[in-house]
Amino acid sequence: MAASASAFSTVAPITPFVSTLPAEWSTPVDEGATIPSVVFKTRTRIESEDENPFDWKDLTTEDLFKGKRCVIFSLPGAFTPTCSSSHLPGFEKAYEEMKSLGVDEIYCLSANDAFVMRQWGLKQGLTEDKTLGSLGFEKVKLLPDGACQFTRGMGMSCVWDSERGFGERSWRYSAVFNDMKVEKMFIEDGGVTQNFGPDPFEVTDSDTMLEYLKSC
């Protein structure tokens, strides 16, 4: 027993997580900039009797955005309060109207994996697209950025450690991408703040985006 107690007494203390990111990962790109070229690890529907009829499919930034005009909104996390109560539902409701204003597709991006994003969409009541090869849902498409590669390239990466225990996530923003370039971008609080207490949601909502699209 004495030896056991001695062994426990020598255990080193846990080192606190340090939320230091390279400056370029948290410095938003400018309007007019080319968006980052990355690979998104998605799940696509296949012909199967399994309860999870999906398989992996790599999609590049070019696959999704080249030659297209798309709306994207990015948020800190699936299943989180503002993202679930306001951000995603607003764009889902405005989907058809945005499409009528010269938009090819609307994407919701979060630093979560494809499994989490699908379950969140189901929980939100999004209508599934059950055609083979689909990305999961009929209207807003949920785009997983689990490794934060796209988020870092957009300069929108932030860490909530002591504040929420999230780890690295995306700062809340919305944008219009036009043939791989940033046509317009709305960023909450004017820029990225690490480990920020508030969760601002003032300029990245669907109404603000609709107002911009109607003004073009």
- Give the residue numbers marked as catalytic: 83
HSE at residue 60, side-chain half, CA atoms within 13 A, is: 5
Contact (CB, 8 A) for 198 and 211 = no
State the DSSP H helix or E strand holding residue 187, giving kind and residue range, or none if neither.
strand 181-187
The full DSSP string for 22-58 is: -GGGGSPPPTTPBPP--EEEEEEE-S--SSS-EEEEE
- Which residue has tokens 């990225």? 192
HSE at residue 1, side-chain half, CA atoms within 13 A, is: 0
Both tokens of residue 213? 């699209």
